[in-house]
Amino acid sequence: MGPGGPQVEAIKRIVILGGGTGGTIAANRLHRAFGAGDAEIIVVDQDDDHVYQPGLLFVPFGHADPGRLVRSRRRQLHAGIGFRQAGIDHVNLAADRVRLDDGTELGYDVLVIATGARLLPEETEGLTGPGWMKNVFTFYTLAGATALRSALDRFDGGRLVVNVIDMPIKCPVAPLEFCFLADRYFLRRRIRSRVELSYVTPLDGAFTRPVCSRELSGLLAGRGIELITQFNTGTVRDGALVSYDDRQVPFDLAVVVPVHGGAAYVDRSAGLGDELGFIPVDRQTLQAKAKPNIFAIGDATDAPTSKAGSVAHFEGEALVGRIRAYLADQPLTAAFDGHTNCFIETGGGKALLIDFNYDTEPLTGHYPASVGLPLLRESRLNHLGKLAFGQLYWHSLLPGRDLPGIGAAMPRRGKKGLPART
Amino acid sequence: MPDVSYDGQTVSVNDEGFFTDPSQWTEDMVPQIAKAEGIDHLTDRHWQVIRFMRQEYQAKGTGPSVRALAKTSGVPVKELYQLFPKGPAKLAAKIAGIPKPRGCI
């Protein structure tokens, strides 16, 4: 037992379902916290392809090579962490066992659900019909983003519609970023005047938080991007999106974000997930409401914040603290404050940065302190930050390290208009 | 922030008419709020949805999307649009005294 290690009597087994961003961060952080003598850690995933999802946005515009976005999941895990490549049939909560699709079972002392969110295009009538992968695409998968690249190359003018079918989705800002990048892309090709760009959302605005709305509302109109709001897509017909209340948005090319749900096995695991397949958790402790020895991290949870990689990263510290306390039967103190941040590419080598948590909306100022990246303001520095992040992801984030100067909790210094603490 | 009166009680609402303090809402206010939104007659189905919106808000701190609403309330999406024209997630949220659905930005 290392210094400061938990007081446990036998080697505990921690099973982590999912070897993506959250699962890898959790595994590497837990491995560092416990040491080999105190906990056996096993990560389960159905494949060995870790995709850097933030890169998918750039593939359709030729700014990222799809092959370079994928690395082995196993190789992102520290030596000593087990990796089982298998599908998950279901979790037996009462027996503390996971049944894999090869028929074998894994018992656990602690289970961490990190299987993220999956796309459910079949849930929208007509979406995977004859137009799918011909004039209707999603860039949320490697195959979709790659196919969309060819379609964009061939697109010579007409109406391009970007549509979020319903919330929640991973990376809610990505569809907006797509619009901004598309605007620049067609400008570079000198055909922008032949293209009508529309952003179609079920929400009642592109920006729904007061400060964002105040600072950013001109961004779409300023680029000639039409905004259609309160549109809940019910059906995709040939050449048109149709809402549940029978409004139509015609298109020549549609870029769609399908509805999301939790991993399939969640629905097969009685008591584990909610109606959409996400795991109800205490939003601060990340402990599952279903059972105290189950935790969840990242996109898989129902925590009321965005589904974004930064959330999985900021959750990592609290998750490890809670699991240590749980296994050592000590009072739980570590808490996650909902901290989330995202770069928003606005095209032309610039980006915005937003930073917020459960209680505080995105505000202006700088991050992580008064000297830092500008918040809610386009800058080249933010764009460079987003690019640099591509390397930090593999070399710092996934190994479970903190970034210098960046704490897990949302910083208060550097922000403007933050209500005084009482 | 304007104040309005429902069921003889003063509540505060934002400039779109959503309750700024969901705890001020009571079920007795529902018929009046609904009427102000153009729904003159509330059926059991309306009530099923409204109660479900409150439950979700209390459990998760935010109202559900149309899809989640359909899946758990037991009322299919087409019917939701008949009960709450123009947008069930937003309209039912207003009548249930909870904030409108919003994104992260």
Six-digit token string for A346? 């606005």
Which residue of chain B has the CA closest to A289? Answer: B59
Phi, psi of A31 (to 5 degrees): -60, -40
For residue A224 the two structure tokens come to 């000639």
From A243, A153, A157, A138, select the one nearest A200 (Cα to Cα). Answer: A243
Distance from CA of A69 to the nearest CA of B (A): 26
Domain boundary assignment for chain A: 12-116+263-327, 121-259, 339-422
In a domain, B104, yes or no: no
The shortest C-alpha distance from A306 to chain B (Å) reads 6
Which two three-digit tokens encode residue A325?
């306390």
Average pLDDT per run of 10 along chain B, which is 105 residues long?
86 92 95 95 94 89 87 88 88 94 85
Q: How far apart are CA A362 and CA A116, in angstroms?
A: 24
Poorest-confidence range of A125-129, A310-314, B29-33, B97-101? Answer: B97-101
CATH superfamily of A121-259: FAD/NAD(P)-binding domain (3.50.50.60)
Expressed as residue numbers, the domain containing B19 is 3-95
Tell me, rounded to whole angstroms, the distance of Cα A339 from its chain centroid.
13
Contacts of A232 in chain B (CB under 8 A): 66, 77, 87, 89
pTM of the model: 0.95
Across the interface, whether the CB atoms of A275 and B72 are under 8 A apart is answered: yes
Mutate: best of B14, B67, B82, partner A, most A CBs <10 A:
B67
Assess A172–B contact: CB distance below 8 Å, yes or no.
yes
The verdict on whether B101 is a catalytic residue reads: no
CATH superfamily for A12-116+263-327 is: FAD/NAD(P)-binding domain (3.50.50.60)
Main-chain phi, psi angles of A389, to 5 degrees: -60, -30
Q: Out of A69-83, A163-177, A326-340, pick the least confident.
A: A326-340
Nearest CA to A76 among A144, A16, A36? A16
Sign of the torsion angle spanned by Cα atoms A365, A367, A368, A370: negative
**In this predicted structure, what is the pLDDT of residue A1?**
46
Per the CB < 8 Å rule, is B105 touching A172? yes
Strands (E), A224-283: 225-228, 233-237, 240-243, 248-250, 253-257, 260-262
User: How far does the CA of residue B68 sit from the closest CA of chain A (Å)?
Assistant: 7
How many folded domains does chain B comprise?
1
A74 near B CB under 8 A:
no
Backbone φ, ψ for residue A261 (5° rounding): -140, 175
Quick one: average pLDDT of A172-200?
98
**Average confidence score pLDDT of chain A:** 95
Residue B76 maps to a domain: yes
Kindly give, in sequence order, each residue whose CB lies less than 8 Å from that of residue A140, ignoring residues fewer than 6 positions away: A53, A56, A119, A170, A174, A257, A258
Q: Do domains A12-116+263-327 and A121-259 have the same CATH topology?
A: yes
Residue A57, SS3?
A: helix
DSSP 8-class letter at A133: T
pLDDT tens digits along A361-405: 999 999 999 999 999 999 999 999 999 999 999 999 999 999 988
State the pairing for strand pair A39-45/A82-85. parallel
Each residue's pLDDT tens digit, A227-273: 999 999 999 999 999 999 999 999 999 999 999 999 999 999 999 99
Residues A110 and A14 sit within 8 Å (Cβ to Cβ) = yes
What distance, in Å, lies between the first and last C-alpha atoms of chain B?
A: 22
Give the tokens for residue A29. Answer: 């952080």
| Domain assignment present for B64 | yes
Residue B103 in any domain: the answer is no
Residue B22 confidence (pLDDT): 95
Strand order in the sheet with A233-237: A233-237, A240-243, A248-250
Evaluate whether residue B102 is within a structural domain.
Answer: no
In a domain, B35, yes or no: yes
Per-residue pLDDT band at A68 (split at 50, 70, 90): very high
Note whether A149 and A138 are within 8 A (CB). no
The reply to whether A354 touches chain B by the CB within 8 Å rule is: yes
Q: What confidence category does residue A419 fall into, taking pLDDT thresholds of 50, 70 and 90?
A: confident
This model of the complex carries an ipTM of 0.91
pLDDT in tens, A187-215: 999 999 999 999 999 998 999 998 999 99
Output b/e per residue, A14-51; b: 16+ Cβ within 10 A.
bbbbbbbbbbbbbbbbbbebbeeebbbbbbbbbeeebb
Cβ within 8 Å, pair A204-B71: no
Q: CA triplet A152, A153, A158: central angle to 5 degrees?
A: 55
Minimum CA–CA partner of B63 in chain A: A304
Q: What is the CATH number of the domain that holds B75?
A: 1.10.10.370
Residue B47 is assigned to a structural domain of this protein: yes
10 Å Cβ neighbour count for A292? 13
Whose CA is closest to A22, among A394, A298, A315? A298
- Going by C-alpha positions, the residue among A318, A182, A202 that lies closest to residue A255 is A182
